[in-house]
Amino acid sequence: MFGEELYKIKAVILGHAVADALGVPVEFCSREELDENPVETMEGDGTYPYPAGAWSDDTSMTLCALDVLAEGELDWTEIMLNFARWLTDGKYSSVDVCFDVGRTCKDAIINCIVNEIPAVESGGISERSNGNGSLMRILPFILYTEFVDCDEEPMDIIHKASAMTHAHERSKVGCGIYSFIIRRLLKSQNVESVFEGLRDAEEYYRNFTQFSHYKRLLDPDFKNLDRSEIKSSGYVVDTLEAAVWCLLNTDSYRECVLKAVNLGEDTDTVAAVAGGLAGALYGYDAIPSEWLETLMKREFIEDMCERAHCQWFM
Ligand SMILES: [Mg+2]
């Protein structure tokens, strides 16, 4: 139906957005609450007063970057300006208003726009600035560095992209590990690619002290950890672990993202990060069509993917 690469871009971006929307109504719900009353499909209301299919900051900030990268240029300032347009005017929002923004992201936007700090130096550098706010919006940079010949090293671009909001090495490494896995999945759609991506990351991050925080992912028994040992908080390490664990313990896009949502707490982001992985592994056609049909501003997102594809490949 699509060119192969367009199909991959849509699988990853829509896979992320749909999962974000599944998690929005139950954001901050505990695992116990969701065990009693699990999410099974797109729902409206709940944590926020929005209809089914509304997606959140994860997808908004992803689209802020994709819109610029779709022009074929890595313009950091323009991407940050888009973050500001979303924050203040609700541009790139599913419901035309910014209804949730992480503290670290907001501080970084203010740092750049108000305090005139360069976009790639605006992010939080303290150890406390290691929420999942750069991991949740890193996908367009992974696609861009995979599909476009850049002057800069792909991993340097991924790290700078994280540093726009999250400049601590632990956040940068989290984005990097995710990018190694996604990259392998885009090349070869099988679960072995996940382990190859993790081995790529281990090799690349050999001399990065912060990589040790992710060592559970490399454990051959990681997949077999009990659900009780997987945290689904907004901490970048927990989010990446939870997303990979859900991917390894399910066999379809639908199962993976529902498992992620139903872990509770940071439901939208854990699901969105898992949704990017599951989109890459199972493909666009694996995203349930009823969920795609419910997704707000689906055409806006799909058009942006098509524009990126045209710019990058034609
Ligand atoms: Mg969110």
* 161-184: pLDDT as tens digits: 999 999 999 999 999 999 999 999
Give the Cβ contact number of residue 32 at 10 Å: 8
Say how far apart CA 191 and CA 214 lie, in whole Å: 19
Q: How close is the Cα of 314 to the center of ligand 1, in Å?
A: 33
Work out the burial of residue 43: count CB atoms within 10 Å of its CB; fewer than 13 is exposed, 13-18 middle, 19 or more buried: middle
Q: How close is the Cα of 149 to the center of ligand 1, in Å?
A: 31
Q: How close is the Cα of 192 to the center of ligand 1, in Å?
A: 29
**pLDDT tens digit string along 243-277?**
999 999 999 999 999 999 999 999 999 999 999 99
Q: How close is the Cα of 139 to the center of ligand 1, in Å?
A: 15
Helix pair 267-282, 253-261: axis angle to 10 deg:
170
Say how far apart CA 14 and CA 299 lie, in whole Å: 11
Q: How close is the Cα of 207 to the center of ligand 1, in Å?
A: 32
Q: How close is the Cα of 199 to the center of ligand 1, in Å?
A: 29
Given a cut of 70, whether residue 2 has pLDDT beyond it is no
Q: Which of 146, 147, 145, 134 is nearest to 240 (CA)?
A: 134
**Mean pLDDT computed over every residue of the chain:** 97
Q: How close is the Cα of 269 to the center of ligand 1, in Å?
A: 6
Q: How close is the Cα of 268 to the center of ligand 1, in Å?
A: 5
Given a cut of 70, whether residue 30 has pLDDT beyond it is yes
Q: How close is the Cα of 255 to the center of ligand 1, in Å?
A: 20
- Sign of the Cα pseudo-torsion (293, 189, 4, 66, in order): positive
**Structural domains in the chain plus CATH codes:** 4-313 (1.10.4080.10)
Q: Which of 89, 6, 1 is nearest to 302 (CA)?
A: 6
The predicted pLDDT at position 1 comes to 47
State mean pLDDT over 207-231. 98
**pLDDT tens digit string along 48-99?**
999 999 999 999 999 999 999 999 999 999 999 999 999 999 999 999 999 9
The CA distances from residue 121 to 109, 166, 176, 266, in Å, are 11, 9, 18, 26
Say how far apart CA 45 and CA 24 lie, in whole Å: 9
Say how far apart CA 273 and CA 15 lie, in whole Å: 9
Q: How close is the Cα of 220 to the center of ligand 1, in Å?
A: 31
- Tell me the residues surrounding ligand 1 (ion) with CB < 5 Å: 56-58, 268
Q: How close is the Cα of 77 to the center of ligand 1, in Å?
A: 23
Q: How close is the Cα of 201 to the center of ligand 1, in Å?
A: 26
Say how far apart CA 32 and CA 180 lie, in whole Å: 33
If you search the block for the tokens 């990065």, which residue do you land on? 208
Q: Which amino acid is at 279?
A: G
Q: How close is the Cα of 239 to the center of ligand 1, in Å?
A: 12
Q: Look up the pTM and report it.
A: 0.98
Contact status, residue 63 vs residue 14, Cβ threshold 8 Å: no
- Which DSSP symbol is given to 216? G
Q: How close is the Cα of 3 to the center of ligand 1, in Å?
A: 30
Locate 258 and state its tokens: 């529902």
Q: How close is the Cα of 214 to the center of ligand 1, in Å?
A: 23
Contact status, residue 269 vs residue 17, Cβ threshold 8 Å: no
Q: How close is the Cα of 84 to the center of ligand 1, in Å?
A: 16
User: First CA to last CA across the chain, in angstroms?
Assistant: 17
Work out the burial of residue 57: count CB atoms within 10 Å of its CB; fewer than 13 is exposed, 13-18 middle, 19 or more buried: buried
Say how far apart CA 188 and CA 193 lie, in whole Å: 6
